[in-house]
Structure 1
């Protein structure tokens, strides 16, 4: 991968990281600021709790994505970005554009997913 491509992915990943961190800060503030209401209707309480759980689930996914982005940025700094962790071959640029945080080429990822389906993970 050439310098221009690496800089493209560094900027792409950094912009996504910055956006996620800003969004996470806003949402965490909202979740902390939102106290449970003392609704007398159990259905209202259940609806409120479900909405809160959904927000927490989304935040958890975003938190994992932040970790993957940071790992990808570190790989760029170390010169290992775009190299498959399994076979150590270059990952196709089209795959990186579709999934910039990937650390596996499509062949190895497909094998990994097939294995996970077999063992039931």
Structure 2
């Protein structure tokens, strides 16, 4: 069978028992691995960029450069965490639990997974967690 496209995924309205079939799993595995490749390429660019750092005598320029590098490192740290999440998500594809909410066991939904392939909660469960977190933060 031909590879699925984003339009195929978003337009899918097959039977519930066909949710997360082999074609869906292959589509999301490929999408996650592509995300991982991009993140690893970004990390490599950051390493090169930081090694090329040039010393500048002007304190204002130096401060600006240091701020840019700090922002770049924070971004890479978020991406490092996303890489770990991608790896754990690929394991879910392998063990057959991908696409189902960790809290309820209900399908997360293809549209949500298209928007966030690493989602582990249904929209309702995510909103419930955020409400509880906000409640305890207040």
The answer to whether the superposition gives a TM-score over 0.5 is yes
Q: TM-score, normalised by structure 2?
A: 0.80
Three-state SS of the structure 2 residue aligned to 1:87 is coil
Which residue in the other structure is 2:36 paired with? Answer: 17
Which of 56, 69, 73 is equivalent to 2:86?
Answer: 69
5+ residue gaps, structure 2, are 1-19
CA RMSD of aligned residues (A): 1.6
Q: 1:37 aligns with which of 55, 76, 81?
A: 55
1:16 shift after superposition: 0.9
Give the Cα–Cα distance (whole angstroms) in 2 for the partners of residues 117 and 28 of structure 1.
37
Indicate whether 1:109 and 2:126 are aligned: yes
Q: Provide structure 1 residue ranges, at least 5 long, that are not aligned to the other structure.
A: none
User: Which residue of 1 is the match for residue 21 of structure 2?
Assistant: 2
Separation in structure 1 between the aligned mates of residue 42 and residue 61 of structure 2, nearest angstrom? 27
Counterpart among 111, 114, 127 of residue 97 in structure 1? 114
State how far apart, in whole Å, the 1-side matches of 2:63 and 2:30 are: 42
Task: Map Cα deviations across residues 42-81 of structure 1 (whole Å, 9 max, x no partner).
Answer: 2222111101101101101111111111111010011110
User: C-alpha separation between the residues in 1 aligned to 2:104 and 2:61?
Assistant: 52
2:101 aligns with 84
Residues paired across the two proteins, number: 119
C-alpha distance in 2 between matches for 1:97 and 1:26: 27
Q: TM-score, normalised by structure 1?
A: 0.90
Counterpart Cα distance in 2 of 1:92 and 1:9: 12
- Aligned-partner SS, 1:72: helix
